[in-house]
Amino acid sequence: MKTCSRKGYVASLALAGSLVLGASMAFSARAATEETGVNQQIADTLHGDWGKINFNLRYRFEYVDQDGLKTTDGDTIRLRLGYLTPEFAGFQAFAEFEGNTAVFSDDFNDKTNGKTEYAVIADPSEAELNQGWLSFSSIPDTVIKGGRQRVNLDNQRFIGAVGWRQMEQTFDSVNLLNSSLGNFTANLTYVWNVRNILSKDVNMNSPLANLNYTFKDIGKLTAYGYWLDYNDPDDSGPYEYAFSSQTYGLRFNGSTFAADNLEILYTAEYALQSDYGDNETDYSADYYHFIGGLQVPNTASLFTNITGKIGYEFQGSDDGVSFKTPLGTNHAFNGWVDKFLTTPPNGLQDVYGLLSTEISGVNFKLIYHNFQADEGSADYGTEFDAMVSKKFYDHYTLLVAYGNYNADELYTDTEKIWVQLTVAF
């Protein structure tokens, strides 16, 4: 990796942030009139007594420079088009098409096209039924939903839609959500198939239980159990049924105000995972995640929502068999460069810091990670991530992001940059 290249991309990111900020200030005065103009007309056209049409178009350019592979600069465009029916006698239905294709360059490894000489951009050219479900809500404080649906539990560490990728992950499942006991909510799901980010079906028999209780002005306590039982030995992890596991955990996440303009943020989580189903590897591994932070919502300057966090995430290992989260939105954890989507055999410790703020509606975020093994003393390297994003007129979002992973005793140096535009109605 060339240092000048890294500096160049950081400079480009800074320039992009300045341009986004400048555009935000220039257009802010027009926002109200624009929103009541053509954008509002489009929104009104897509919604009525007959139901609602969902439209989401996302273009993304992604650059990847990874030691040992050909440099990749691919771009894709993703369309989601859905229809939500009106509610009738407690019933409601939704169907959503999703399709993705390369635009100007397809010289990248999308993990299905066999271009293994290139770095990975895991966004294959595919088209599919992303969601198709029927719900029933006539029982008080209860919603029952069955079919192909999006399932996001807690912070999506264990169960999530992987929304960063162009083809998201959805679940063929039945879900029961009940909130009849005041601050207590039960979220129960049974999954028989997962449609993953490569548009591939992964069969399983997996009950998911997520129970939470909200303490007013303090936070939410969650107890969960996830029993993942994969059916296909050739599509269940790095070895046969490696992802078949049972995980039990407790999570407390919340915040409280120490002063009128100072909020204390905190998260504490523990989970225990062991083999399940046809997984013949006898193991038991721990998981910890602790976060502490401060947020200043308002200042006397242009800055708002100034946030600082320090976190420690631990994914343990039992004699070379690590804690795993195969159905999580793992891009959001352990660095955006995606080196640790699957936990290394000797586990992973991630000490990280985050700084974020907002200036005139433009969001800025910086994250630094230091990675080490659980078993042994291996140093897995460091990563720096940065993002600038801005939402315009409620329907348009521009994002520029940068990630730089510096390897040590595992993997190889990798640098990524993303430019993304989303239109959503």
pLDDT confidence of residue 22: 52
CB 342 within 8 A of CB 317: no
pLDDT at residue 3 tops 60? no
Q: Mean pLDDT, to the nearest integer, of 119-132?
A: 98
Structure letter (DSSP) for residue 109: B
CB 75 within 8 A of CB 104: yes
Q: What is the pTM of this model?
A: 0.90
Percentage of the chain lying above the pLDDT 70 cut = 92
pLDDT confidence of residue 300: 73
CB 292 within 8 A of CB 309: yes
Q: Mean pLDDT, to the nearest integer, of 364-380?
A: 96
- Residues 388-422 have pLDDT tens digits of 999 999 999 999 999 999 999 899 999 999 999 99
Greater model confidence, 353 or 37 = 353
CB 154 within 8 A of CB 224: yes
Cβ partners under 8 Å of residue 318, min gap 6: 283, 284, 285
Q: How confident is the model at residue 243 (pLDDT cuts 50, 70, 90)?
A: very high
Percentage of the chain lying above the pLDDT 90 cut = 85
Q: How confident is the model at residue 2 (pLDDT cuts 50, 70, 90)?
A: very low
pLDDT confidence of residue 30: 53
Average pLDDT over all residues of the chain: 92
pLDDT at residue 262 tops 50? yes
The pair of structure tokens assigned to 283 is 């193991």
Cα separation, 165 vs 330, in Å, equals: 11
The pair of structure tokens assigned to 387 is 């993002």
Q: Mean pLDDT, to the nearest integer, of 53-80?
A: 97
Task: Tell me which amino acid residue 85 is.
Answer: T
Cα separation, 112 vs 256, in Å, equals: 46
Cβ partners under 8 Å of residue 30, min gap 6: none
Q: How confident is the model at residue 144 (pLDDT cuts 50, 70, 90)?
A: very high
- Residues 6-44 have pLDDT tens digits of 444 444 444 444 444 455 444 544 554 455 589 889 988
Burial string for 331-361 (b: 16+ CB within 10 Å, else e) reads bebbbbbbbbebbbebbbbbebebebbbbeb
Superfamily of domain 3-424: Porin (2.40.160.10)
φ, ψ (nearest 5 deg) of residue 89: 55, 35
- Residues 61-72 have pLDDT tens digits of 999 999 999 999
Cα separation, 34 vs 44, in Å, equals: 14
Task: State the Cα angle at 187 between 213 and 173, rounded to 5°.
Answer: 165
- Residues 307-324 have pLDDT tens digits of 999 999 999 999 999 999
The CA distances from residue 64 to 48, 69, 245, 261, in Å, are 43, 10, 33, 41
